[in-house]
Amino acid sequence: MTQQNHGNAHKFGMVIDLDKCTGCGSCMVACMSENNVPFKEDESNKKDSITWMRVYKLTNGKSFPDTDVCYLPRPCMHCGGKGDHGHSPCVSVCPATATDYDYGTGIVSQIYTRCFGCRYCMGACPYHARFFNWWDPKWPEGMEEYLSPDVSPRMRGVVEKCSFCFHRYQAAKDKAYLEERDTVAEEEYQTACTQACPSGAITFGDLNNPDHAVHQLVNPDPHHCGRPRNPKAFRLLERLETNPKVYYISEREWVRKAGDNYLDGEWEKAKMKKTKGHE
Amino acid sequence: NWPWTPVPPDGEVTFEDTVCTLCSGNCGISVRKINGRPVKIEGTTGHPVNDGGVCLHGISALQYLYDPSRVKSPMIKTDDTWKEVSWEKALAHAAEALGNIRKADNANAIACITDNDKGTVSGLFKRLTTVLGSNNYYTMDTMEKAWATTIDAVNGVKAHVGFDLKNSDLILSFGSGFIEGWGAPVYNFQVNARRKTHGIKLIQVEPRLSNTAAAADKWVPAKPGTEADLALAICGVLITKGLYNKKAIQADDPSFKAFAKMAQEKYSPARTARTTGIDVASIQNLAMAFADAEKPVAIAGRGKGDSAGSTREFAAVYALNCLAGNINAPGGFWLMDKDPAEVWPSIEMDAMATQGFARAKFVETDTVDSLMAKVTASAKSPVEALLVYNANPCYSLKNAKAVTEAVKKIPFVISFSSYMDETTQLADVVLPSHMFLERREDVSLTGPVPLDITALTRPMVSPLFDTRHPGDSVLSLAAAMEGSVAASFPWESYDACLEAVKAPVWKALSEKGSVVKEPVSLVKKIERMDFSLLLNDTAVVAAEGDEATYPLVLMPVDNIRLTGEIAASPFAVKTVSDKVLKGTDSFIEINPETADQLRLSQGDEVTLTTPVGSAIVKVNLFDGIMPGVLAMAHGLGHTMAENPYVGGKGVNVNALVGPVMDAISGLDAAWGIRAKISRV
Residue B242 covered by a domain: yes
Helices (H), B360-503: 368-377, 393-396, 400-409, 422-425, 470-481, 483-487, 494-501
Residue B530 covered by a domain: no
- Residue among A42, A64, A146 whose CB faces B623 most closely: A64
What number is the average pLDDT over the span A17-34?
97
My answer on whether B250 and B150 are in the same domain is: yes
Q: Do A24 and B38 touch (CB under 8 A)?
A: no
Sign of CA dihedral B519, B523, B529, B535: negative
My answer on whether B297 and B401 are in the same domain is: no
Interface of B with A in 156-215 (CB under 8 A): 179, 185-186, 189-190, 192-193, 196, 209, 211, 214-215
Residue B645 covered by a domain: yes
Q: How far apart are CA B563 and CA B572, in angstroms?
A: 9
Residues in chain A within 8 Å Cβ distance of B11: 149
Residue B525 covered by a domain: no
Q: Is a pLDDT exceeding 80 seen at residue A164?
A: yes
Residue B532 covered by a domain: no
Q: How far apart are CA B127 and CA A79, in angstroms?
A: 63
Q: Is a pLDDT exceeding 70 seen at residue A206?
A: yes
Determine the distance in angstroms separating the CA of A122 from the nearest CA of chain B, rounded to an integer.
21
Between CA B548 and CA B556, with CA B552 as vertex, the angle to 5 degrees is 135
Q: Do A144 and B592 touch (CB under 8 A)?
A: no
The count of domains in chain B is: 4
Each residue of B310-360: pLDDT tens digit?
Answer: 999 999 999 999 999 999 999 999 999 999 999 999 999 999 999 999 999
- The whole-chain average pLDDT of chain A stands at 94
Q: Is a pLDDT exceeding 70 seen at residue A278?
A: no
My answer on whether B156 and B203 are in the same domain is: yes
Read off the CATH number of the domain in which B561 is found: 2.40.40.20
Identify the pLDDT of residue B1.
59
ipTM: 0.95
- Residue where one domain finishes, among candidates B517, B533, B557: B517
Say if residues B297 and B334 touch (Cβ distance below 8 Å).
no
My answer on whether B124 and B249 are in the same domain is: no
Identify the pLDDT of residue A7.
53
Each residue of B529-553: pLDDT tens digit?
Answer: 999 999 987 788 999 999 999 999 9
pLDDT-based confidence at B574, cuts 50/70/90?
very high
Residues in chain B within 8 Å Cβ distance of A57: 577
- Residue among A26, A62, A199 whose CB faces B59 most closely: A26
Residues in chain A within 8 Å Cβ distance of B582: 44
Identify the pLDDT of residue B528.
86
My answer on whether B290 and B382 are in the same domain is: no
My answer on whether B493 and B604 are in the same domain is: no
Read off the CATH number of the domain in which B195 is found: 3.40.228.10
Chosen for mutation from A145, A158, A188, A191 (greatest number of chain B CBs closer than 10 Å) is A145
Identify the pLDDT of residue B2.
76
| Residue B22 domain boundaries | 13-65
Each residue of B434-477: pLDDT tens digit?
Answer: 999 999 999 999 999 999 999 999 999 999 999 999 999 999 99
**Cβ–Cβ pairs < 8 A, chains A and B:** 188
Residue B476 covered by a domain: yes
pLDDT-based confidence at B527, cuts 50/70/90?
confident
Q: Is a pLDDT exceeding 90 seen at residue A277?
A: no
Q: Is a pLDDT exceeding 70 seen at residue B198?
A: yes
φ/ψ of residue A14, rounded to 5: -135, 140
CA dihedral A230, A234, A239, A241 (to 10 degrees): -80
pLDDT-based confidence at A3, cuts 50/70/90?
very low
Identify the pLDDT of residue A4.
44
Q: Do B625 and A64 touch (CB under 8 A)?
A: yes
My answer on whether B236 and B275 are in the same domain is: yes
My answer on whether B591 and B639 are in the same domain is: yes
My answer on whether B504 and B584 are in the same domain is: no
- Domains identified in chain A and CATH numbers: 2-39+46-278 (3.30.70.20)
My answer on whether B387 and B496 are in the same domain is: yes
What number is the average pLDDT over the span A127-143?
96
Each residue of A76-122: pLDDT tens digit?
Answer: 999 999 999 999 999 999 999 999 999 999 999 999 999 999 999 99
Stretch among A137-146, A167-176, B246-255, B285-294 having the lowest mean pLDDT: B246-255
My answer on whether B616 and B494 are in the same domain is: no
Say if residues B38 and B460 touch (Cβ distance below 8 Å).
yes
Say if residues B272 and B233 touch (Cβ distance below 8 Å).
yes
Read off the CATH number of the domain in which B408 is found: 3.40.50.740
Identify the pLDDT of residue B564.
82
Identify the pLDDT of residue B525.
84
Which residue, B114, B118, B116, is CA-closest to B501?
A: B118
Residue of chain B whose Cα is closest to the Cα of A61: B623
pLDDT-based confidence at A5, cuts 50/70/90?
very low
Percent of chain B with pLDDT over 90: 96
Residue B70 covered by a domain: no
Residue B507 covered by a domain: yes
Q: How far apart are CA B281 and CA B180, in angstroms?
A: 29
Sign of CA dihedral A94, A99, A101, A107: negative
Q: Going by C-beta distance under 8 Å and a sequence separation of 6 or more, which residues neighbour residue A75?
A: A14, A31, A52, A53, A129, A162, A164, A191, A193, A246
My answer on whether B431 and B568 are in the same domain is: no
What number is the average pLDDT over the span B133-156?
96
